[in-house]
Amino acid sequence: MKQLSLGSIYHMPWLEYRHTTPDGHIVLRLRTGRGEFERVMVRIANHYNYPDPFALGQTLPMTVAYQDDLFDFYEIIFPLADPRFKYLFLLYADGERVYKLDGAGLRYGENTFDDISESFAFAYAYPAAPMPDWARGCVGYQIFPDRFRRAGEGEPGLEPWNSDRVQSEYRFGGNLAGICEAVPYLKELGVDMIYTTPVFFSDSAHRYNTFDYYQVDPLLGTEGDLKKLCDTLHKNGMRIVLDGVFNHCGLGFAPFVDAREKGRDSEYYDWFFFDDVEACGYRTFSHEPYMPKLNLQNEACAAYFLEVGEYWLKTCGIDGWRLDVSPEVWPDFWRKFHAMMKRVAPDSLMIAECWDDSREWLTAGDMFDSTMHYMLSRNLWKRFCHHSIPLSAFDAAVNNAAMLYPQRTQDVLWTFLGSHDTMRMLTRAGGDSRMLHAASFFQFTFMGIPIIYYGDELDMEGGADPDNRRAMRWDNVEGNATRKHFKKLAKLRRKHEALKLGAFRTWHVGNDGLYAYERFTDTERVLCVLNTSCEEVTMQLPLPEPLRSQAAVRDLYGERSLPVWSGLVEIKLSVGEGMILK
């Protein structure tokens, strides 16, 4: 008989293991050792159905949704007329061994007594709040305003557009009018939403050291220019998310100036942390004295920034806030901010800048809707840039990422190849555009919101901050093969619901680097096939149903048909090349 790692069996009646969908379906998940059980069932009962609730209940099969190198993650999604229920799991191994797992723990035997009081409970399965429909699976584009596009002559003293002096003290004069001019370009590329780094008054090019949260930086334009940009985007079916920096401010922020000058006599003194943790005498972002940390446990300080968030939602009609350094901010402030956003603009999106596991901030639904999914990014870099992990390890990381959050959250996670805080993807890949193409193929055919960092579609390079903030290469637009690649991916994503909103399942993980995975909804199913290696790959790939029963499959990306023989299709992919089979 197979040896079982019983310690691998795990369920938590919360978060990703037990939740609801916006349409009221129940989602239950269970972890086991990989490949150890022949089948897993869940037994469900209403504890108010006396005298024997389980006799009136039902037993339903679960399927393996995700796998990593150690575990299988079983899942079931089902409707339930009465949302009050309790449940336990039945695990069937070879040799007719059966185990039960309930709230009291794991025990052996299928016919042992099931005590309803010791079963896992879902007291009342209220439907989850839906995410904004416009955001689910859309295509995003990150803009660093000073370096994106300059309309007009600009002010004296600005850097030439081709300057290599990219440090934060040098201004290039990109402005809101320039972004507005670029809307047709972005629309043609397939962008549904833009995200801009901060636009408020500051003395740096990055503007993360804000002086005035109610004033658009004059180099960028005016409040009227921001309103015009929002309106132009909306008329073109696009959305805009602004960057809110509420963890810290700049030295010129009036309350900080007052607190620093007057000390404890200032009404703003407790808006900050004056102590000896940092040599400058107050706490900061990182160890940067020019970015004093804000104390959002202070009610007056919190009220001020809640009003800031509400002001820009109302006056300019922005569609969301991305919140900088969000894990270091007092959590209750984010609960208040989320409630404010959904009250003022129910269709808005609230995004965390969290580089790590974000379940604390996302899954309960009372703080953020989404996060910047750097956990996925790091594994994309390892596989496609550094070639430091085998495909099996990459697939395990992808499955763990897919398991980490409910599907409603997966639909709106921001997936990045690079950002203003990281090296550009092409530079990280040693200038190999084939790896940029491969990684972006995966990004656009995976769950979430793929975010293009401005210029990546034009083969822009850049090392660590600030070199990753070079001026946009508008001279490299025409005939650019990478731009054509991104444009095609965005078009396919918009056209095919399975790519935009479908679930994810691994299909094939080859030692030769060939990776195949399904994306599917109730009405559409596609198979994505990608060469993640540095060599050409050729093989006869077995197909899943219903593709294996077809006479031929269509490659949506390559716009060609391939014959199917005995459930197999011949795959021949060059380095970084992918196909989407339907």
Catalytic entry in 36, 353, 369, 411 = 353
Strands 85-93 and 39-45: antiparallel
Catalytic entry in 36, 75, 217, 324 = 324
**Which residues, in sequence order, are bridge partners of residue 349?**
320
Q: State the pLDDT at residue 450.
A: 98
Q: Is the pLDDT of residue 40 over 80?
A: yes
pLDDT digits (tens, 9 = 90+) for 470-490: 999 999 999 999 999 999 999
Q: Is the pLDDT of residue 266 over 90?
A: yes
Give me the count of residues in the chain.
Answer: 582
User: What is the rounded average pLDDT of the residues 424-436?
Assistant: 98
- Domain 502-581: what homologous superfamily? Golgi alpha-mannosidase II (2.60.40.1180)
User: What is the rounded average pLDDT of the residues 210-218?
Assistant: 98
Q: Is the pLDDT of residue 539 over 80?
A: yes
Question: How crowded is residue 506: how many other Cβ atoms within 10 Å of its Cβ?
Answer: 18
C-alpha to C-alpha distance for 45 and 80, rounded to whole angstroms:
11
User: What is the rounded average pLDDT of the residues 4-10?
Assistant: 97
pLDDT digits (tens, 9 = 90+) for 298-314: 999 999 999 999 999 99
Confidence of residue 378 (pLDDT cuts 50, 70, 90): very high
Question: How crowded is residue 551: how many other Cβ atoms within 10 Å of its Cβ?
Answer: 8
Which 8-state DSSP code applies to residue 182? Answer: T
Confidence of residue 111 (pLDDT cuts 50, 70, 90): confident
Calculate what percentage of the chain has a pLDDT beyond 70: 100
> Between 114 and 124, where is the model more confident?
124
Question: How crowded is residue 515: how many other Cβ atoms within 10 Å of its Cβ?
Answer: 26
Q: Is the pLDDT of residue 95 over 90?
A: no
pLDDT digits (tens, 9 = 90+) for 155-189: 899 999 999 999 999 999 999 999 999 999 999 99
Residues 6+ apart with CB under 8 A from 287: 278
359, 354, 355, 331: which is closest to 17 by C-alpha? 359
User: What is the rounded average pLDDT of the residues 24-35?
Assistant: 98
Q: Judge: domain 140-243+297-495, CATH 3.20.20.80.
A: yes
Q: State the pLDDT at residue 407.
A: 96
Confidence of residue 282 (pLDDT cuts 50, 70, 90): very high
SS3 299: helix
User: Which residue ranges make up each domain of the chain?
Assistant: 6-122, 140-243+297-495, 248-293, 502-581
Both tokens of 147, joined, read 């370096």
C-alpha to C-alpha distance for 468 and 464, rounded to whole angstroms:
6
CB 67 within 8 A of CB 104: no
User: What is the rounded average pLDDT of the residues 192-209?
Assistant: 98
CB 433 within 8 A of CB 460: no
DSSP of 64-118: EEEE-SSEEEEEEEE--SS--EEEEEEEEEGGGEEEEEETTEEEE-SSS---GGG
CA distances from 409 to 15, 80, 136, 429, 544 (A): 11, 22, 9, 29, 27
In angstroms, how far apart are the furthest CA atoms of the chain?
84
C-alpha to C-alpha distance for 175 and 138, rounded to whole angstroms:
25
Q: Is the pLDDT of residue 126 over 90?
A: yes
Q: State the pLDDT at residue 494.
A: 97
Q: Containing H/E element for 156?
A: none
- Among the four given CATH numbers 3.40.50.720, 3.40.50.2300, 3.90.400.10, 3.10.20.30, the one describing domain 248-293: 3.90.400.10
Residues 6+ apart with CB under 8 A from 96: none
CATH number of 6-122: 2.60.40.10
Q: Is the pLDDT of residue 533 over 80?
A: yes
Confidence of residue 1 (pLDDT cuts 50, 70, 90): confident
Which value, in Å, is the radius of gyration of the alpha carbons in the chain? 26
Q: Is the pTM of this model over 0.85?
A: yes
User: What is the rounded average pLDDT of the residues 414-429?
Assistant: 98
pLDDT digits (tens, 9 = 90+) for 434-465: 999 999 999 999 999 999 999 999 999 999 99
SS3 196: strand
> Between 144 and 51, where is the model more confident?
144
Q: State the pLDDT at residue 351.
A: 98
Question: What is the chain's mean pLDDT, rounded?
Answer: 97
- How far is CA 103 from its chain centroid? 32
Q: Is 324 a catalytic residue?
A: yes
pLDDT digits (tens, 9 = 90+) for 485-512: 999 999 999 999 999 999 999 999 999 9
CB 433 within 8 A of CB 441: no
Which 8-state DSSP code applies to residue 470? Answer: P
- Tokens 């079916």 locate to 237
